[in-house]
Amino acid sequence: MNIVDARFVRDHFIPIALNLDRWNIVVYEAHRATELLWRGMICKLGHKPHEHHDIRRHIAYLLDRLPSERHSSIPFTIGVLNESGDGYGVTIDPHFANNVQLWMLQGNVYTLLACTSRPLPLEGQIDMTLEVNPPNITVYHNDTYLFSASSHSIPGPFTVIKKTFVRKPETERMRILKSLGDRLSSERDPAYYGEKQYNRDDALHAMSYMQQSFEAATTFFLFD
């Protein structure tokens, strides 16, 4: 809901204020839309954002809670097990050209069934699907077939498992995001309390910072 509200503020409130030359309102609402955006993304990760208006702190909080890259083949990035604890799983190993690997786990022993060297995005949202329908085990990325293997070794029942995970952005992008948050946050209170009279250029700058934040947010989650 926060993300929906952020888009509403961006698409409805801000254009009206801009057309009426209400520059302070534009500056304040640009901050509010951006704050709502990041608070919503924190919620999408399953956390409750803190009750403050510091965008930079919200961004830092989100980045600290993004899933970290796995530096070994085990445990699975996405997997499915039966009642005995045996099953199949997919890993993404960044040390080998982002290879996607399909493993079988049986009796605490891991066996590599198949892999592909097709690289995945280095940042942003990745959707993986593992379809286990013995003897066929199939892996998809963004609903596109990657590869498959055959195995009769492990009894089911199994099902189709889908999982979305997010890779951390590069350090420079994180620095830019926090810088944008600083700029917006520093203007919030003066705009809201009328402590400073903003002009059109100030409003356009705030809108630019807001839009850059929306564009950067798609690095983490896909939304309209």
The backbone torsions φ and ψ at residue 98, rounded to the nearest 5 degrees and listed phi first, read 60, 40
Q: Note the pLDDT tens digit of each residue in 26-51.
A: 999 999 999 999 998 888 777 889 99
The pLDDT value given to residue 71: 38
136 contact partners, CB below 8 Å, separation of at least 6? 148, 150
Predicted confidence band at 162 (pLDDT cuts at 50, 70, 90)? confident
The pLDDT value given to residue 168: 60
Tokens of 8: 């509403």
The answer to whether the CB of 81 falls within 8 A of the CB of 106 is: no
Tell me if the bond preceding 135 is cis, omega within 30° of 0.
Answer: yes
The pLDDT value given to residue 34: 95
Write out the residue limits of the CATH 2.60.120.560 domain(s) in the chain.
78-167
CATH topology of domain 2-66+170-217: Four Helix Bundle (Hemerythrin (Met), subunit A) (1.20.120)
Ranking 58-62, 117-121, 170-174 by mean pLDDT, the lowest is 170-174
Q: Note the pLDDT tens digit of each residue in 52-75.
A: 999 989 988 887 776 554 333 346
**pLDDT surpasses 60 at 224:** no
Residue 56 and residue 46: Cα distance in Å, rounded?
A: 19
Q: What is the pTM of this model?
A: 0.60
CATH number for the domain running over 78-167 = 2.60.120.560
The pLDDT value given to residue 25: 97
Tokens of 117: 């060297």
**pLDDT surpasses 90 at 21:** yes
Predicted confidence band at 20 (pLDDT cuts at 50, 70, 90)? very high
Q: Write down the mean pLDDT value for the chain.
A: 83
Write out the residue limits of the CATH 1.20.120.330 domain(s) in the chain.
2-66+170-217
